[in-house]
Structure 1
């Protein structure tokens, strides 16, 4: 999966989505992920859903004679005409605190001291409470079948609008047996995929959730320092269970361009690694232009579209083409880090478990300076017979000499593939 995250609040009404969808298709993405489009509650947060069966008025074209649902279907159909499947956030771990559901079905919600509870998290040692949200009680409700059937109806409604997949928000907060039933019953009737958002949970929670039938989970490659062992350890713990999706930034994180002091090489470095590390990759709207304003589920508007001098579209297009052409980059391939004398260079070996493809990724960790990679023989790192082919998105070499010496510009990655 090569996923472009079209953030509704930045893109604006459905009628304005076409150029963004066309750009996503041109960049080589095959999926578009859309954050919630349902009617929000009083807080106006995309993730505070008041009515799951109505469309957010802010996304509708008031001049269109078409019904809200038809405006959605028309937009999804346009995406599909470009070769893009569309997935939407499935937010069924909580709803808006001012949703009618709280009065209609109070038994569906977690209670604290007699009141319906708000979800919370602990951030940097402090408890953060989302007071605009109410937590569904999937584990202990007195009406589990009623709550399940409601969620099932939400899924059917979204499928009826044309969506072919679901990114399941905070999936680990809902029991695996709930997901197993929902996924099995839905897939019996429709060709759809389910992706679990498991960031921030333990490895055991990730494995338990992944085992409920999800097609993909998200991994934490965005936060890796290119050195610590934890990412490869986590990757190997779930690699044979379910494929994963990496991302250089998301709608929940700061913009990488701002984090890296407006370094374009950092944008390229992180996208290349995210795209080739695991089976799937996801990139949010604006990354290709070096946007710096974080996406906000309440405050972002189309007026936040930034005019920049950055444009890495061609680079992203080339990386996506590499990913689409080589099986080793389309699966949770066998992956190992190889020691190298220059600690500022990442040397990663990958091997497909489904065919005989192998790959070497040589990446300059340093986004501010040049680093030298040298080896007596590239073939010492792979098991396949020659040749190794340089398929790098920038400056690919037609001939790989022995010994091999390359001075890597800041953040640059070399991608070498042995295709037996």
Structure 2
């Protein structure tokens, strides 16, 4: 694993939405230099405390960016390669790493290799790039049946058993790391055979041993997937679900169970942790009680892993993902020209993010911190977090009444609110207000 990742907190941006690009690409339209819009927000990100910019898809595509046409070209709706270089330079000047989004399970129907198949039939030069089923008597101009991603016919699945596809993906990853990127998020990594990733990443790491590679994985054995593929990490969807579900149901047993399983992941790797991203309902909309948003953030920014903040969540943006065409629009909005144009009511949550990220930086061991439960009830939880030695205590109260909770050896409250009694001793206890929380140092 790249050693720099231990200090990284990502700010995730969905560029096509962020800059207000058109929903559909017009092949005849000129290049529009919208990617520079992001540069006006880099100081905002630095002031938030993050150290990396995780970009959604930025390569030439037909619509939402996950239907790639040319992964060697910046989407003309965003700009060109010079705009990419300028963004990398601006990020570097501020000490920000840059993560790219690689769509290598599938391509869009407009991808030249698939268009060649549609034109030339089974004799197409890159026909083996796809999993095709040809009708009897097929020839040029006959469309085959083909594997697609989760029923989306616009997303044509690649043949990951073809060596040419592996070489192509490795070449794309190598090209953009050489141009300044620090790593890749691998979209729909769970849909691709692990042996494919293992082959590709062996090639990529020859030239770029410190690149950070994280795969999008939703279900299954996270640790085994990391071992089998050679990735550094995968997305921690299990913990994401447990955070909002436990807070909504006032069932902190669910969260404690998920944190125990999270410990098992940390024995192998440091997962990418989050409470929001470009594919899910925003955390401020997901929670049924606004008073519990700080609890979700406190969990995220104290537990082990590499945290990712989805742009807008730090301002308590709202947005519900819907399962329909255009159902992602509400969670991928355009951002104003500068942070000064934001509404005033989101800044308290921004400052809370900033303070919690600063706390995390003061306790570097939290990157691989395991949790140990000290007190557990439906509406209360106290855990100790550390990487071998106790670092901090996290205490949560979801009840409508103040509650005293044991926090042995706690010396002070570092974030949140509460009354600490018998500080520094084995009988130390903190009384949390209704729906309160606190992070304490020992």
Secondary structure of the 2:353 match is helix
1:79-118 matched pairs, under 5 angstroms: 79-102=91-114, 103=116, 104-112=125-133, 114-118=144-148
Secondary structure of the 1:241 match is coil
- In structure 2, the partner of 1:217 is 234
CA distance in 1, matches of 2:262, 2:154: 35
The 8 Å contact of residues 85 and 164 in structure 1, kept in 2 or not, is answered as yes
Secondary structure of the 1:319 match is helix
- Deviations along 1:195-228, one digit per CA (max 9) or x if unpaired, are 12111x312x652344422222221222111322
**Stretch moving more, 80-89 or 5-14:** 5-14
TM-score, normalization: structure 1?
0.82
- In structure 1, the partner of 2:415 is 392
Determine whether 1:372 maps to 2:409. Answer: no
1:171 to 172, 181, 189: 189
- In structure 2, the partner of 1:75 is 87
Deviation, structure 1 residue 248: 1.1
Determine whether 1:326 maps to 2:351. Answer: no
Determine whether 1:339 maps to 2:369. Answer: no
CA distance in 2, matches of 1:14, 1:396: 48
Which consecutive unaligned segments of at least 5 residues does structure 2 have?
1-7, 20-33, 117-124, 135-143, 247-251
Determine whether 1:317 maps to 2:354. Answer: yes
Deviation, structure 1 residue 272: 1.4
1:189 to 186, 204, 207: 207
CA distance in 1, matches of 2:146, 2:111: 12
Deviation, structure 1 residue 253: 0.6
- Deviations along 1:231-257, one digit per CA (max 9) or x if unpaired, are 135323322111112111111111122
Secondary structure of the 1:243 match is coil
Deviation, structure 1 residue 8: 0.5
CA distance in 2, matches of 1:221, 1:287: 17
Secondary structure of the 2:355 match is helix
Secondary structure of the 1:154 match is helix
CA distance in 2, matches of 1:389, 1:155: 46
The 8 Å contact of residues 232 and 269 in structure 2, kept in 1 or not, is answered as yes
- In structure 2, the partner of 1:407 is 432
1:192-203 matched pairs, under 5 angstroms: 192-199=211-218, 201-203=219-221
Which consecutive unaligned segments of at least 5 residues does structure 1 have?
61-67, 121-128, 380-385
CA gap 1:415/1:145 in 2 versus in 1, 3 angstroms = same
CA gap 1:281/1:210 in 2 versus in 1, 3 angstroms = farther
CA gap 1:107/1:217 in 2 versus in 1, 3 angstroms = same
1:59 to 49, 69, 78: 78
Deviation, structure 1 residue 409: 4.1
1:348 to 353, 369, 383: 383
Determine whether 1:119 maps to 2:158. Answer: no
Deviation, structure 1 residue 326: 0.9
CA gap 1:149/1:389 in 2 versus in 1, 3 angstroms = same
2:281 to 254, 257, 260: 254
CA distance in 2, matches of 1:131, 1:261: 36
The 8 Å contact of residues 346 and 364 in structure 1, kept in 2 or not, is answered as yes
- Deviations along 1:338-385, one digit per CA (max 9) or x if unpaired, are 334x531111122313xx34332101235xx4441333xx32xxxxxx
Determine whether 1:24 maps to 2:45. Answer: yes
The 8 Å contact of residues 18 and 335 in structure 2, kept in 1 or not, is answered as no
1:146 to 164, 167, 172: 164
CA distance in 1, matches of 2:433, 2:227: 38
The 8 Å contact of residues 315 and 393 in structure 1, kept in 2 or not, is answered as no
TM-score, normalization: structure 2?
0.78
- Deviations along 1:20-72, one digit per CA (max 9) or x if unpaired, are 2211111111111000100112xx11111111111112212xxxxxxx11110
CA distance in 2, matches of 1:395, 1:82: 36
Secondary structure of the 2:278 match is coil
2:158 to 100, 123, 136: 136
2:17 to 10, 15, 25: 10
- In structure 2, the partner of 1:124 is none
CA distance in 2, matches of 1:351, 1:414: 16
- Deviations along 1:71-122, one digit per CA (max 9) or x if unpaired, are 10111110121111000111101111221121251211123565222111xx
CA distance in 1, matches of 2:60, 2:281: 26
CA gap 1:304/1:20 in 2 versus in 1, 3 angstroms = closer
The 8 Å contact of residues 223 and 269 in structure 2, kept in 1 or not, is answered as no
Secondary structure of the 2:383 match is strand
Secondary structure of the 1:309 match is helix
